[in-house]
Amino acid sequence: MHVHHLLNNNSIANKFIAQLRDVTVQEDRMRFRRNIERLGEILSYELSSKLQYTTKEITTPLGNSKVELPANDIVICSILRAGLPLHNGILNYFDDAENSFISAYRHHPNEDEEFEIKVEYLASPSLNDKTLILADPMLATGRSFVNVMQALKQMGTPKEIHLVAVIGAEEGLKLLDEEFPQHTHLWIAAIDQKLDHRGYIVPGLGDAGDLCFGSKKQH
Ligand SMILES: O=P(O)(O)OC[C@H]1O[C@H](OP(=O)(O)OP(=O)(O)O)[C@H](O)[C@@H]1O
Ligand SMILES: O=c1cc[nH]c(=O)[nH]1
Ligand SMILES: [Mg+2]
């Protein structure tokens, strides 16, 4: 897997990450969602450097101009819930892409810290020969990305896969490296060292889904 780590170079993205992590700024849910969306836009811009381009001639009012335009058939797939604002950011740039939605959540069958990932909802076009952009802001254990990719197999085989995340833990990156095809790209803003006993990224930012949309009742 090719890892592209945005915070390796300083940019305005540092500020958006800082605000996402900051407990006082997190009280503003609209800003939290918008910062995830902004990072989706930035990561899309970065990702666009790896697309295939074809030459097109454009007519301006004063003449003709040759431009190189992306030629990929893109499908953006985001993992509900926290993937929604990231999806919007990516779609803002790849505005003519097709779209998939899939759900994944942590189900705790007992009172303890063990959990399984439940994938229940899937709406997707065919992925055969497409450029799949799979988006989820949090990459903790990596099990959501892996289980979701397993469920997406019934929709066909993409030509290439780009994973987009905002904050990841080393452990999650390692699992993706083992489970995804070698040519997969991971576009990620920040990489943190560890997970806590509940599988939360430390320092991370907390529960991204709850911070976007409010807490949910366990069932
Ligand atoms: O790498 P993993 O260990 O699988 O953890 C990451 C997953 O956890 C979060 O979802 P969550 O289950 O909290 O669902 P939500 O988006 O509905 O809050 C997050 O949005 C990822 O999907
Ligand atoms: O740190 C984490 C881990 C999983 N899901 C989140 O939202 N945050
Ligand atoms: Mg959550």
> Which residue's CA is the closest to the ligand 2 atom numbered 7?
207
Locate the domains of the chain by residue range: 2-49+74-213
144 lines ligand 1 (CB under 6 A): yes
- Substitution site in 138, 144, 171, 216 for ligand 2 pocket (most atoms within 8 Å of beta carbon): 138
Res 219 pLDDT > 80: no
pLDDT of residue 159: 97
For domain 2-49+74-213, which CATH number applies: 3.20.20.210, 1.10.357.10, 3.40.50.1820, 3.40.50.2020? 3.40.50.2020
200 lines ligand 2 (CB under 6 A): yes
State the average pLDDT over residues 213-218.
Answer: 88
Q: Which atom of ligand 1 is nearest to the CA of 140?
A: 1
Task: Find the 211 Cα to ligand 1 centroid distance in Å.
Answer: 12
Beta-strand relationship, 131-135 and 74-80: parallel
Give the model confidence (pLDDT) of 67-107 as tens digits. 999 999 999 999 999 999 999 999 999 999 999 999 998 88
Tokens 């499908």, located at residue: 75
Residue % of the chain over a pLDDT of 90: 91
- Substitution site in 193, 201, 212, 215 for ligand 2 pocket (most atoms within 8 Å of beta carbon): 201
State the average pLDDT over residues 181-189.
Answer: 98
- Looking at residue 77, the DSSP 8-state letter turns out to be E
125 lines ligand 1 (CB under 6 A): no
- Predicted complex ipTM: 0.97
pLDDT of residue 114: 84
State the average pLDDT over residues 7-16.
Answer: 97
138 lines ligand 2 (CB under 6 A): yes
